[in-house]
Amino acid sequence: MLERAPRKDHTEVTFVLPADTPPGPVSVVGDSNEWQPGTHTRTPRKDGMRAVTIALTGKSEHSFRYLAAGNYWFDEESADGHDGLNSRVRT
């Protein structure tokens, strides 16, 4: 699930997953962090979900995927679109 919070010069996008699906650490990997695993790892929230928020600048589209333990890559079902293997989010 994606949550968006528009700000003056950027949009904060929160990437949310259930606490145990998939198990273990999960990071958001994409063009916003030069595809570096572990840069944006989800942390537990009070509501039982795991989330990480990334500030994305301008009105644009960004590619990303999720990377879980065991080199398990997967996409965001509620993404704004898909480009080949990647999910897309619009700001």
For 16-68, the pLDDT digits (tens) are: 999 888 988 999 999 999 999 999 998 999 998 999 999 998 788 999 999 99
pLDDT number for residue 58: 77
Q: Tokens for 2, please give them.
A: 């994606």
Domain that holds residue 9: 2-90
| pTM exceeds 0.85 for this model | yes
Given this model, what pLDDT does residue 65 score?
97
Whether residue 5 is predicted with pLDDT greater than 80 in this model: the reply is yes
Q: What is the CATH number of the domain that holds 55?
A: 2.60.40.10
Q: How many folded domains does the chain comprise? A: 1
Q: Which residues of the chain form beta strands (DSSP E)?
A: 2-6, 10-18, 26-30, 40-41, 43-44, 49-57, 61-68, 72-74, 81-83, 86-90
Give the phi and the psi of residue 31 in degrees, each rounded to 5. Answer: -70, -20
